[in-house]
Amino acid sequence: MRFWSPKTARFLAAIMLHLAVARGALAQQRADVVLTQTTPLADLGEIERRTRPPVYASGIAAHGQSLDLSKESYVVHVPAQKPPQGYALLVFVPPWDQARLPPEWATVLDENGVIFISASRSGNNADIRSRRMPLALTAAANMVQKYDVDPARVFIGGFSGGGRVAMRLALAYPDVFRGALLNSGDDPIGSLEIPIPPSDLFRKFQEESQLFYVEGDSEQAAIMSSRNQSIHSMRDWCVFHIDRMVMPLHGHDAATASALDRALTSLLGPTAPPQDDLESCRAGLQSSLNARLKAVEDFLAKGDKTAARRALDEADAEFGGLAAPESLELNARLH
């Protein structure tokens, strides 16, 4: 057995204390964090504008903030080491009500310099537009303001039902979220439930947003089918920045540490230039939209407002913001 002199022992004790403090400073994780700043992007009117088809939304009078932030809380994880370009940010929408960091994620977040934030009372039973969306948007706004976050590296993510909400947010808010981690939760786009946002936002989504799908290899067949439909739907709508990982020996589970690391590597990497066929794909969509709007015009010319209304509602649901302002002008003629 080796014995140290009192002076050496004190020195070693000081070193050990320093290392312990350093280890404790690797990251800061706090629960029950209350945020203070609202954002106009979370106003109900703005959420409706971005997440409803224009004709359908014209009959909805929603506005104002739906949250009392003094009654909301979040869990926040901040890595100690800030990357030279600033932190990245992952806003996470959970399927559960109690905010928490999924197991094994902390080390991966630290290694990639990613701040994590997730809201309480934002589970699958919470309303999407009045709670889950504004909670996520408010989280992003506050973290960007409080920390040195690179705006080009702000992402939305979610697991299960939270993944479905994350996909809606990525689609509607590409000016906030530059990509999405879709963990066993997603849907096809281009419907009344998940419409195409206003054209300027959708073009940004097509050109810049990156999507990473991750699921277990033992997911239920219905969930796997939905995943495939979502990916095919994205490609049909000219969204090509897509990556995917299947976790072996896993079912409907939150991403493992290795899956999260691969997802972050993909999302944090450079965005590839738009594919050569993006413009031709867009031209095909525009041609289909023109045909749908012309059908409405033809019904109106015949005086058949019932058929015109049906055709307009179908075009509004499928093409959403891409059909405006023409769809809104046709809607005015039908009143």
pLDDT in tens, 195-223: 999 999 999 999 999 999 999 988 877 66
Residues 78 and 146 in one domain: yes
For residues 176 and 153, the answer to whether their CB atoms sit within 8 Å is no
Residues 6+ apart with CB under 8 A from 287: none
Q: What is the identity of the amino acid at 154?
A: V
User: How many other C-beta atoms are found inside a 10 Å radius of the C-beta of residue 182?
Assistant: 29
Residues 232 and 94 in one domain: yes
Q: To the nearest 10°, report the CA torsion of 103, 164, 201, 85.
A: 0
Residues 238 and 285 in one domain: no
Residues 288 and 219 in one domain: no
Residues 6+ apart with CB under 8 A from 90: 109, 114, 115, 116, 117, 155, 156, 157, 181, 264
pLDDT in tens, 111-136: 999 999 999 999 999 999 999 999 99
pTM, two decimal places = 0.89
Residues 121 and 150 in one domain: yes
Residues 172 and 304 in one domain: no
Residues 133 and 177 in one domain: yes
pLDDT in tens, 273-303: 777 789 999 999 999 999 999 999 999 999 9
Residues 239 and 211 in one domain: yes
Domain count for the chain: 2
Confidence of residue 26 (pLDDT cuts 50, 70, 90): low
For 65, 130, 170, 280, the CA distances from 186, given in Å and listed in that order, are 26, 20, 11, 26
Q: Could you tell me where the beta strands, DSSP code E, fall in 191-309? A: 210-216, 242-247
In a domain, 259, yes or no: yes
Reference 94, options 69, 119, 71; nearest CA is 119
**pLDDT score for 239:** 96
**pLDDT score for 19:** 40
For residues 174 and 50, the answer to whether their CB atoms sit within 8 Å is no
pLDDT in tens, 137-150: 999 999 999 999 99
